[in-house]
Amino acid sequence: MSNSQDKTPAGRTSPWELAVGPEPKHWDDWVEYDAEAWPERKENHYRCIPTICFNCESGCGLLAFVDKSSGDIAKFEGNPLHPGSRGRLCAKGPATINQVNDTERILKPLKRKGPRGGGEWEEVSWEEAVADIGKRIGKALREERHDEIMYHVGRPGEDHFAMRMLQAWGVDAHNSHTNVCSASARLGYSLSFGADRPSPDYANAKFILLISAHLETGHYFNPHAQRIIEAKNGGARIAVVDTRLSNTSTHADRWISPWPGSEAAMLLSVARLLLTSGRVDKEFMERWTNWQDYLTAKDPGGPQTLDRYLELLAEEYVKYTPAYAMAECQIEEGTVEYLADRISEAGSEFTSHLWRSTAAGNLGGWQVARALLLLHSLTGSVGTKGGLNPNSWDKFVPKPSLAPPPHSRWNERLWPKEWPLAHYEMSFLLPHLLFLVIVQNLVQIVELLLLHVGEQKSRVHNQRQEHIV
Ligand code: SF4
């Protein structure tokens, strides 16, 4: 590959930074030699068009290299101007080309023909598909069957449009995977600091604690992983709490594998140790926690001071000794002390992330987020460089100025009455609830049939009686 405008930096054999794609000044006419024409130096000219990878939710910046002679996309590389991914991608980013060229890609809507499950499909036009689906939805709305409309999305990849549309229809129908993934952690974060997700400043952190948050192999991973590794190269320590030795764990200074569901006990033990050893950011606690309210409720006759509050807080967690955590969580001796030391050393530059299995996979898992935020409160590592922010501080989501009025219907298939405090729609129950609806309908049909048969019998009986008389 070549580009005559660039100069080769000293010590490099390539004329540009290989880690990222070309700079914008080359995007109108990027030149590369055709590898297949070698040894001939045949130039291919490309136009680089910025786009986004959506093979995961990170939305890293891509550059589509469009062949100027054919108009075809030849490949995808990272967009160096993208603020999150900064030109770097995981292997799935460049593999986006498969989605363009895949010969088995479905390009037109397919409509089932024959019985459900029969595997028979026919191609229809977009117009036909939209008209057909729209007609069914319209009919359900006109017949007041709002609960029969359901919108399921695996990973919501946009802000507002789908919700706005459902609101306009007046249906409560948004169903996603959130409740089996992040809902519990979100609840804990929301209750403690008002935003349902953390925004950790990994790049500037001195200690990073990841609890079932696989930021080097999963969630948001490329942009986060870059910054975690940056911090690590700068001397930050990393601890990963996970039942399994994940890829992320292999990059950590310490892998901690507690008994699943016991993580909150470990974190509270760390909190107790910080409190009893006086390693607390009193200034932060004084300003940002409601310690006066706590004292009024718990110890109205005692001294109304921060020290008294911290003393009572330590008493609150008195049972959470390192020995207790060892037994409860089945962790190695010294783990609680290790975490307390690293967290207090990092102070306001302690950051963390909790997501998925620890919170979502265990009863009461949402409390793990709250126990984790307690550690951040004790160390004053909220809203600091290298600390933890509420995500709403770092993410701007513009909302449309005009929105339809909120819908007035409650869909019990998403929000069953039995779980009045559910924080997200309970999609894992949906198949069971739909099954129940089918069973209820069948029971009704059978009852109607029996009623009908009974009526027929009694009519025949009455006719016979009349005949005998
Ligand atoms: S992390 Fe990988 S898959 Fe996800 S958006 Fe970035 S390049 Fe695509």
93 lines ligand 1 (CB under 6 A): yes
Backbone angles phi, psi at 298, to 5 degrees: -95, -35
Q: How many CB atoms lie within 10 A of CB 408?
A: 8
92 lines ligand 1 (CB under 6 A): yes
In angstroms, the CA 189 to CA 463 distance is 72
What is the identity of the amino acid at 42?
A: K
Lowest pLDDT segment from 199-213, 267-281, 322-336: 199-213
- Averaged pLDDT, 226-254: 92
pLDDT value for 11: 53
pLDDT value for 127: 96
β-bridge partners, 33: 43
- pLDDT tens column, 137-153: 999 999 999 999 999 88
Percentage with pLDDT > 90 across the chain: 60
Residue 39, preceding peptide bond in cis (omega within 30° of 0): yes
Is the confidence at residue 232, as pLDDT, over 90? Answer: yes
How far, in Å, is the centroid of ligand 1 from the Cα of 257?
28
pLDDT value for 19: 56
Pick the CATH number of 24-101 from 3.40.640.10, 2.40.50.320, 3.40.366.10, 2.20.25.90: 2.20.25.90
pLDDT value for 215: 64
pLDDT value for 398: 78
Rg, the chain, Cα only? 30
55 lines ligand 1 (CB under 6 A): yes
- pLDDT tens column, 364-418: 999 999 999 999 999 999 999 999 999 989 887 777 778 899 888 999 989 999 8
CATH number of 183-394: 3.40.228.10
Top-confidence residue, 297 or 215:
297
In angstroms, the CA 24 to CA 196 distance is 36
Q: Which residues contact 158 (CB under 8 A, 6 or more apart)?
A: none
Fold match between domain 24-101 and domain 183-394: no
- pLDDT tens column, 95-137: 999 999 998 888 899 999 999 999 999 999 999 999 999 999 9
Helix ranges, 238-396 (H) = 247-250, 263-276, 282-288, 291-298, 306-316, 322-329, 335-346, 357-360, 366-379, 391-394
- pLDDT tens column, 10-46: 554 555 555 567 889 999 999 999 999 999 999 999 9
Ranges 54-63, 169-178, 254-263, most confident? 254-263
In angstroms, the CA 385 to CA 375 distance is 16
For the chain, the domains span: 24-101, 110-178, 183-394, 414-451
217 lines ligand 1 (CB under 6 A): no
59 lines ligand 1 (CB under 6 A): yes
Banded model confidence at residue 468, pLDDT cuts 50, 70, 90: low
pLDDT value for 220: 64
Beta strands at 198-200 and 388-390: parallel, antiparallel or unpaired: antiparallel
β-bridge partners, 174: 151
pLDDT value for 8: 47
**178-422-401-139 Cα dihedral, nearest 10 degrees:** 90
Lowest pLDDT segment from 99-113, 173-187, 209-223, 375-389: 209-223
The pLDDT mean for the chain works out to 89
